[in-house]
Chain A
Amino acid sequence: MASWKQMCAAFSVGVSLVAIAGCGAENESASSEGEKPSAEEGPFKFTIMANLHTAEVPEKEVQHLLEEATNTELDIQWVPDSNYEERLNTAFATGTLPQAVYMKNQTTYDQFKDAIRDGQFWEIGPYLDEYENLKKLKPEVVENTMVDGKVYALYQGRPLARSGIIYRKDWADNLGLEAPTTIEEFAEMARAFTEDDPDGNGRDDTIGLTDRNDLVYGAFKTVASWHGTPNGWGEKDGELLPEFMFDEYIDTLDFFKELHENGYMNKDFPVTSKPDQQALLKNGTAGIYVGSMGDVLTLYSEASQINPDLEFDVHNYVEGPDGEYNIWAIPGYGNLVIFPKSAVQTEEELKSILSFYDQLMEPENANLIYWGIEDEHYTIEDGKAVAIEDTQRTEREVKPYQSIEIGEAETNGRYLGQSHYPVKLKADELEIDNESYLVHDPTTTLHSPTAQTHGERLQQIINDATYQYILGQTDLAGFEQAVETWRSQGGDDMISEYNESYNQQ
């Protein structure tokens, strides 16, 4: 594809040069000479495929500035995040992957590990030391991206645990409730928000928790952490087992089942999308949101347009039955970028791309793609960036480019954010506080061929059973039956493969 485009470009350049040359009464030798040097001196062109979190492709102002700063010409293929896997696999199957490919998340990356092991992507580990900025990437996170001890990917840093509670402070005040510090208090808040008319309008029109069709980034996994469920996999009697074989997982199921049965959460949460889930909080139907605490800023800016009197607060510490607080952690990266050999044909080309990413990690460029243009999209206050209030504008012009960032503020030197909304500042603090209570997924660097090919389909069996249990469509026996199915269809292989890999480490 790329070569075809290049041919077309070369052809059209050639044609126009011939035409110009013809006018000037010069002959073709001038045109063919004139073409080569310009191609070499000109900006380095390459293609990127990245996921788009906004509804529309961005305006190109930021990109042009970035291209100027790095002497490149970027062809970014924006793919909506919702069908990113599909496009990624299609491009892979048809051999049309671009030169730099973002992986979306750990799950998709796992799928590609097979091809990585087969040598389809460049191993970049040996080159990293040549680049001033790339070698600053955190070694502990880089290690989490390794395949068989080799580095293939540049990572995009993410706080280890952003999860917590966002709730209606004004409702809680009306009912004389404090932020919940135990699971029981959390359940009590959900009940009170549902039954005790927290908005004082005399009608039964509120619910407690709002959740969506996502067992990881929705409420479920965070609440499971509070109950003491391991993160993905955990150790039991010296053996690694998946989280759903732990009693704490079942406790979480029962907890959610009760919330759902009593109507303390939205009934149709297994088919509720993220915008719908957030709408329930914003429009004053629901009072508790469990998820990324940093979202409180956008939630507030939109909700306060509907109801200016509303107040949010954030909270993280919720004690489990054993009197301790636990929170699941990600491996330190969100997205990753890898470089297919089918598109990046020479070492030289790879180095040019790496050098682009090296420059991308310079503070000016990192700020440009993360915050936009100074005084236009953000201002500096006490050495921190404050984004303009017009979130729709930043969403159109800047936000999409955040998804090509490499590293994190600590390593690429971009400004940290400052907010005029104090609750957002508290959320940032609680994210750091979370780091004292992390539960890691032990399988991040382990290898299981079965998990790679069948992992997602097997997980679906468990996810379905989890929803069905909460909805009361199946009981404990039914859930155990699903676990049996999981085991017999490849789960047992996964368990033994992970344990073997674990014991080797």
Chain B
Amino acid sequence: MDSPIMANKKWTRTKAERRQELWRKIKKNKWIYLMIAPGLLYFFVYKYIPMYGLIIAFQDYKPYLGITGSEWVGLDHFRRLFADPDFWMIFKNTLVLFALQVCISFPVPIILALMLNELRSRAYQRSIQTMIYIPHFMSWVVIVSISYVMLTLDGGIVNNILRALQFDQINFLLNPEWFRPMYILQIIWREAGWGTIIFLAAIAAVDPQLYEAAKMDGANRFRQMWHITLPAIRSVIIVLLILKIGDVLELGFEHVYLLLNASNREVAEIFDTYVYTAGLRQGQFSYSTAVGFFKGVVGLILVVMANWLAKRYGEEGIY
């Protein structure tokens, strides 16, 4: 369709003509545009308008004076954040938990999906899939309380078993060293099954002829998985990875907050919990906005970097 002559003609069209052309296209696809409208409106109202509120990070915000009436303090809140001795601790904790998520809990659904795919019986595969979805529908409160009841030293079942087997009891809840393993195991338990959905869908779309050809060449099941399935779903994995990084620093506020206590704060306090305690519980609106703002900027940088890297290595990326 894009013959050189047509392209040439485009160059010569006037502005008015182009505008007309645009209108014609919009009119032609008016239903599609109409369908996009609610989505755009949603993003505008709930994502862009609230950004106006970020202004209070540069003010000494007093609710009754409002954004227009509050005093400007420039970068004071950011200075306070960077000067806060807890800042690096929080920054480190946030990044460590993030890295754990990306390195440990992210690959689990992929491995699970590959394993499920190898099951021969469809019915068996389905029922296992359903079973591992279920934890996703439990709230963090429930999951954390269950693990609390199981792990407590005051009659928790795990420690009772350890005692019965003559092992030392382990203080899971109050020992800072156990915070990260607990955090990541709970995430895997809750999310791994749910995460397999997309990967299984991607695997289902792989052309069966490829497998047949590989079999002819003498590839065993492991080789088929390695050379066909994995490369076929690579782009899905990368897109999801970038999206995951987009959630950077969204580590599940509720989850961490529930696990947080006096003795593991040094490894468990993250930006989200800090914003919550400083902002909502102690009423320091401007300061916590500044903290949240900083977190957002770090997240943005990470996503842009990840996308750039993905493109650099010949993948599609997300934009």
> Which residues of A pack against B, CB within 8 Å?
85-86, 89-90, 92-95, 111, 115, 118, 120, 207, 213, 266-268, 270-272, 280, 285, 342, 453, 456-457, 460, 463-464, 466-468, 471, 473, 485, 489
Q: CB distance A342 to B64 under 8 Å?
A: yes
The residue on B at minimum CB distance from A453 is B284
Q: How far is the CA of A460 from the CA of B263 in the complex (A)?
A: 11
Q: CB distance B85 to A271 under 8 Å?
A: no
Q: How far is the CA of A207 from the CA of B153 in the complex (A)?
A: 12
Of the candidates A85, A267, A460, A489, the one whose C-beta lies within 8 Å of that of B154 is: A267
Q: How far is the CA of A51 from the CA of B216 in the complex (A)?
A: 72
Of the candidates A85, A86, A213, the one whose C-beta lies within 8 Å of that of B261 is: A213
B278 contacts which chain A residues (CB < 8 A)? 457
Q: Tell me the residues in window 219-277 of chain B with beta carbons closer than 8 Å to chain A beta carbons.
A: 261-263, 265, 276-277
Known A95-B64, A271-B261, A468-B263; contact A485-B154, beta-carbon cutoff 8 A: no
Q: CB distance A268 to B174 under 8 Å?
A: yes
- Closest 5 CB pairs between A and B? A467-B262, A267-B153, A464-B262, A86-B280, A266-B154
Known A111-B283, A267-B154; contact A467-B263, beta-carbon cutoff 8 A: yes
B148 contacts which chain A residues (CB < 8 A)? 271
Number of interface residues of B (CB under 8 A): 27
- Closest beta carbon of chain B to A44's beta carbon, Å: 25
The residue on A at minimum CB distance from B287 is A453
Q: Does B98 contact A (CB under 8 A)?
A: no
- Closest beta carbon of chain B to A121's beta carbon, Å: 10
Q: How far is the CA of A448 from the CA of B14 in the complex (A)?
A: 70
Q: Does B139 contact A (CB under 8 A)?
A: no
Q: Does B181 contact A (CB under 8 A)?
A: no
Q: Tell me the residues in window 60-101 of chain B with beta carbons closer than 8 Å to chain A beta carbons.
A: 62-64, 66, 85
Main secondary structure on A side of the interface with B: helix
B174 contacts which chain A residues (CB < 8 A)? 268, 270-271, 471, 473
Q: CB distance A95 to B261 under 8 Å?
A: no
Q: CB distance B154 to A285 under 8 Å?
A: yes
Of the candidates A92, A94, A271, A464, the one whose C-beta lies within 8 Å of that of B283 is: A92
> Which residues of B pack against A, CB within 8 Å?
62-64, 66, 85, 148, 152-155, 171, 173-174, 261-263, 265, 276-285
Q: How far is the CA of A460 from the CA of B260 in the complex (A)?
A: 13
Q: How far is the CA of A94 from the CA of B50 in the complex (A)?
A: 12
Q: How far is the CA of A93 from the CA of B67 in the complex (A)?
A: 11
Main secondary structure on B side of the interface with A: loop
B265 contacts which chain A residues (CB < 8 A)? 464
Known A89-B281, A111-B282, A453-B284; contact A118-B262, beta-carbon cutoff 8 A: no
The residue on A at minimum CB distance from B284 is A453
Q: CB distance B261 to A270 under 8 Å?
A: yes
Among B63, B85, B173, B262, residue most surrounded by chain A Cβ atoms (within 10 Å): B262
Q: How far is the CA of A90 from the CA of B285 in the complex (A)?
A: 9
Q: CB distance A463 to B282 under 8 Å?
A: no
Q: CB distance A120 to B64 under 8 Å?
A: yes
Q: How far is the CA of A118 from the CA of B284 in the complex (A)?
A: 16
Q: How far is the CA of A382 from the CA of B10 in the complex (A)?
A: 99
**Can you offer 15 A-B residue contacts whose CB atoms are under 8 A?**
A85-B282, A86-B280, A86-B281, A89-B282, A89-B283, A93-B283, A94-B63, A111-B282, A115-B62, A118-B64, A266-B153, A268-B174, A271-B152, A453-B284, A473-B263
The residue on B at minimum CB distance from A272 is B154
Known A90-B280, A111-B283, A457-B277; contact A268-B152, beta-carbon cutoff 8 A: yes
- Closest beta carbon of chain A to B303's beta carbon, Å: 29
- Closest beta carbon of chain B to A281's beta carbon, Å: 12
The residue on B at minimum CB distance from A269 is B154
The residue on B at minimum CB distance from A92 is B63
Q: CB distance A85 to B280 under 8 Å?
A: yes
Q: CB distance A89 to B280 under 8 Å?
A: yes
Q: How far is the CA of A92 from the CA of B285 in the complex (A)?
A: 10
- Closest beta carbon of chain A to B276's beta carbon, Å: 8
A456 contacts which chain B residues (CB < 8 A)? 281-282
The residue on B at minimum CB distance from A207 is B154
The residue on B at minimum CB distance from A466 is B262
B283 contacts which chain A residues (CB < 8 A)? 85, 89, 92-93, 111
New contact pairs (20) apart from A92-B283, A266-B154, A467-B262, CB-CB < 8 Å? A85-B281, A90-B280, A93-B283, A95-B66, A111-B283, A118-B62, A120-B64, A213-B262, A266-B153, A268-B152, A268-B154, A268-B173, A270-B263, A271-B152, A272-B154, A456-B281, A457-B277, A457-B278, A463-B262, A471-B174
Q: How far is the CA of A115 from the CA of B277 in the complex (A)?
A: 19
- Closest beta carbon of chain A to B9's beta carbon, Å: 56
- Closest beta carbon of chain B to A15's beta carbon, Å: 28
The residue on A at minimum CB distance from B281 is A85
The residue on A at minimum CB distance from B285 is A93
